[in-house]
Amino acid sequence: MRKTAGTAPVNKIISFSAVDGFGNRTAIFLQGCNQNCLYCHNPETIHPCRACGACVEACPAGAIQMAEEAGERYVAYDISKCCNCDTCIRTCGNSASPKIRNMTAEEVMEEILPYFPFIDGITTSGGECTLHLDFLTELYGLVKKEGKTAYADTNGQVPLWNKEDFLRVTDKTMIDLKAGTEKDHRKLTGMGLHNPVENIKRMAELGKLYEIRTVVVPGVVDNRRTVELGSSLIAACPEVRYKLIKFRHFGVREEYLNIPEPSDQEMEELGDLARKNGVREIVIT
């Protein structure tokens, strides 16, 4: 499917997820990210596909084909043929994936509706889902109509505090805090710290913050600084959780496999630090 107006590139839909917010949630992953974190765990979600065709050759199932429409070349993906071997993703040199379906909010809704009896709501994630705010606003609106909740999992780079239409249909956000200083943040993500911090503050004020999350990466950034900043931002909101996520090698690009994984003790110490600074609920994972 070609990208057309009103659609968003859907990378994956997970019917039931236990790790994307409150209760059971349907998680919808959108393609494309505005940060490029050194340790990205799903690098294939960063860039849009540029239709080079390399993966088409590699696919053992004939699930991806080159196609052309209105003079534009694109990769067509047939989900029913795909065996999820991920050969295409390993082949792609562009941090992209051909397994993308460009879908309208209504199409997504139709697909996830059978899950609704069993879920608290949906969470959109990425990539970076807020790059598709219009789509999200429409989708969330439909979800709310069915009496379910809508969460956005975001890196906080897109200012949300002034997006009233979007906020009206958003229950909660879950925002990354990747580093505690401007320098660290730029080094790690290529982007500044201002917007994530501002988003965290403003969403917390609005009661629309479910959790903030920090991936703990030893040696790359000053993790204590990150946790100190994070704690100070949410200490006044007892309902907001601080999730401390262990950096793991799973899914990471090869060149970063030499970064060590943090020890349990390091994680506990950071948890204690957050607790000392007034955070009520700390989740270490």
Partner 1 sequence: MTNDMTQDILYTIKNPRVTFRQRLKDMAKIAENSVELVRYTEKSREYFENGAMMDMFEGKTPYRTRYCVPDYELFLRQGSKFLMLEPPKDIWDAVGNLLCLYHNIPADGGLPVYIGCLDELLEPFVREEAEAEKAIRFLLTHVDRTISNAFCHANLGPRDSKAGRIILKLTAEMQRPCPNMTLLYREDTPDDYLRAALDTAMTAAKPSFANDALYRKDMGNYAVVSCYNVLPIGGCGLTLVRLNMHKLPELAESPEDLLDRVIPDAVTAVCDAIDSRCEFIVDDCSYYENTFLYDEGLIKKDRDHMIGMFGFVGLAECVNGVLGLHRPEERFGKGKEADAFGEKIMRRLREEIDKRPCRYGKYGLHAQVGVMEDSGGTPGGRIPIGEEPELPFQIMNFIRMHQDCDAGCGELFPFEETVKRNPQYLADIMKGAFRSGARYLSFYGSDSDLVRVTGYLVKKSDIEKFRNNEATLNEATVNGSEVHRNLHLLDRKVRGEAKE
Interface pick for partner 1 out of 1, 2, 14, 277 (rule CB under 8 A): 14
The whole-angstrom separation of Cα 134 and Cα 132 is 6
Binding mask 96-135 for ligand SF4 (x = CB under 6 A): xxxx------------------------------------
Return the closest-CA partner of residue 30 out of 80, 105, 85.
Answer: 105
Is residue 117 near partner 1 by the rule CB under 8 A?
yes
Is residue 91 near ligand SF4 by the rule CB under 6 A?
yes
Q: Would you state the structure tokens that stand for residue 269, as one six-digit string?
A: 């110490």
CB 228 within 8 A of CB 270: no
Stretch binding ligand SF4 (CB under 6 A), from 82-90, 110-118, 179-187, 195-203: 82-90
Is residue 92 near ligand SF4 by the rule CB under 6 A?
yes
Is residue 59 near ligand SF4 by the rule CB under 6 A?
yes
The whole-angstrom separation of Cα 3 and Cα 77 is 12
Residues 192-251 that bind partner 1 (CB under 8 A): 245, 248
Amino acid sitting at position 264 = D
Residue 28 interacts with which of partner 1, ligand SF4, none, CB < 5 to 8 Å by class: none
CB 181 within 8 A of CB 152: no
What is the closest distance, in whole angstroms, from the C-beta atom of residue 4 to ligand SF4 in the complex?
Answer: 18
Residues 244-283 that bind partner 1 (CB under 8 A): 245, 248, 283
Handedness of CA 216, 219, 221, 224 (dihedral sign): positive
3-state secondary structure of 29: strand
Question: ∠ CA 97-102-108 to the nearest 5 degrees?
Answer: 115
CB 105 within 8 A of CB 138: yes
Interface with ligand SF4 (CB under 6 A): 49-55, 59, 61, 63-64, 75, 82-88, 91-92, 94, 96-99
Interacting residues toward partner 1 by CB under 8 A: 14-20, 22-24, 27, 41, 80, 114-115, 117-120, 245, 248, 283, 285
